[in-house]
Amino acid sequence: RINKADMMKDNGSYCPLIFNEIYADNSGEYRLCCHARSTETSQKYKSQNTKPFDYFMSDEMEDNRNKVLSGEKLPECSTCYKQEQWGGESYRKKKIRHYQTKLPTHVDKVTLKLRINGSYCNLSCYMCIPYNSSTRRNEMNKIYPEGWEFFSSSKFESVKHKEYDMIVNDIIDNIEKVDKIHITGGEPLQLPKHWELIDRIPEEHAKNIDLVYDTNLTELRYKNHSVYDVQNKFRKVVWGVSCDHINDKLSWIRYPIDVKKFESNLREIKEAGFNVILNCTISLLNIHDLLEIHKYYKTKFGVVVNFNSVVTTPNFLSIQHLPQDVKDKLIDYYDLPSFVDKWRVNKMNLVLTQLKLDGDTKNLKQAYDYMDKLSKNRNFDWRTLWPDFLK
C-alpha cells in the first residue's frame, strides 16, 4: 500500500510550506514562502488588511493545497521548479527531505515567518534587498539619488500600530496552532516590536514553540531585554547568524559591522550553550573563499557554516555572471565527494547549480560599477581587499 505522504515527494509540485508556513514580506504581502513570486492572491491578502490565520485558511490557499496535492504546478513556485530543472536541490525539495515520509497533507501546526516588526537595521550589506534594511536604504539613496529600482523593485510598507495589534492578537488567539516562529527583520534583536511580540506569548505556550532567528548578532541586548530572556522562555531557539566572510572582507560585505564585537558576541552565546548556525549568502565576493570561511569559524568557534543561500536579486551580483573559465574551475573545486552530506546531497549543490547557468558580461560590469560606488561612499575600497578577484 502506498502512503499518500510518500507520493507527495515525487509529484513535482507538492510543497509542505503550503500546509505549514505563514509568510509575509516587508511589503506586507502574504506569499507562499520567501522564494515564491508575488501573485494576485498575495497582493490581495496583506499584513495591512488581513489576519495571518484568515489568509492561511482562505479559499485561495485551500485551492492551492488541492492543486499541489494533485500535482498541478503553481506559477508562484517557478523559482523552485527552475532550480530542479537545472539539476539543483530547490527550497521545495529541501523542505520535503526534512520530513522524510511524514509529509503534511492538511493544516495543523504552523510556522510563522512574518516581517511585521519593522525594517530597522544597523548594517548595509552590499547584497541586501534595501526594503529589508533602513541603513541600506539610506546608503542606496545617497549613491543613487535618481532611484535604485534596478536593484530591486520590491517596496517596504510599514505595518501601522493598529494593524500590528490585529496581527499579534490573531497570533495569540491561535497560539496553540503555532509550532515555530521564524524571526526576521531588519535586525530583529534591535526592533522593539519584536520584543513586544516575545513578551506577549504566554509562558505555558512558549514552552511548546521553537524560535528561529535571522540576526546579524551585532548586539545581544536591547534596553531591558537580552537574548538570554528568549533562550530561557521557549522550547528551542536556533540562532541563525548571517555571516558572509571573515575579517576585513566581512567588514566590507556587511558594512559597517564591528568584527571584533561580532566575534565576541558569537563566542559568548556559543559558550553559553546556544544553538548557533552561521548562514553564508553566496555572491561574487565570497564564492572563491567558502572553504576558508567554513574552516575559520569551525576552528575558532566550533560553529557550522551553512551555504544554503545564493544571491539572485540583484541578478548582477550572481555568481552565474563570472567568466566561464572561472566558473569551470569553481565547479571542479566544489563538486567533490567531501561535500556530500548524509542524504547524499552535495552541500554545494546550490552553488554548482548557479555556476552552471549562462552568464552575461554586462552584468559583471554592472557589479563592478556598483561596488565602486559603494567603496567611494564608504571610503573603503573593495578592490584593495580583493586584488585578485578574477585571477
pLDDT in tens, 71-86: 999 999 998 998 888 7
The whole-number pLDDT of residue 253 equals: 98
Distance CA 386, CA 391 (A): 10
Q: State yes or no: pLDDT of 170 exceeds 90.
A: yes
Q: Write down the pTM of the prediction.
A: 0.89
Q: State yes or no: pLDDT of 9 exceeds 80.
A: no
The whole-number pLDDT of residue 100 equals: 65
Q: How far is CA 52 from CA 23, 112, 259, in A?
A: 8, 9, 37
The helix (run of H) or strand (run of E) holding residue 323 is none
Distance CA 269, CA 277 (A): 11
Question: Which residue's C-alpha cell is 547568524?
Answer: 241
**pLDDT exceeding 70 applies to what percent of the chain?**
93
The whole-number pLDDT of residue 340 equals: 57
Distance CA 8, CA 254 (A): 39
Q: What is the mean pLDDT of residues 113-125?
A: 93
Taking Cα atoms as reference points, which of 133, 98, 154 lies closest to residue 256?
133
The whole-number pLDDT of residue 389 equals: 83
pLDDT, mean over the chain: 90
Q: State yes or no: pLDDT of 246 exceeds 70.
A: yes
The whole-number pLDDT of residue 343 equals: 42
Q: State yes or no: pLDDT of 147 exceeds 70.
A: yes
More confident residue, 27 or 168: 168
The whole-number pLDDT of residue 348 equals: 81
Q: State yes or no: pLDDT of 349 exceeds 90.
A: no
The whole-number pLDDT of residue 2 equals: 39
Q: What is the mean pLDDT of residues 286-313?
A: 93
pLDDT digits (tens, 9 = 90+) for 195-240: 999 999 999 999 999 999 999 999 999 999 999 999 999 999 999 9
The whole-number pLDDT of residue 331 equals: 92
Q: How far is CA 6 from CA 10, 101, 102, 105, 112, in A?
A: 8, 5, 8, 11, 25
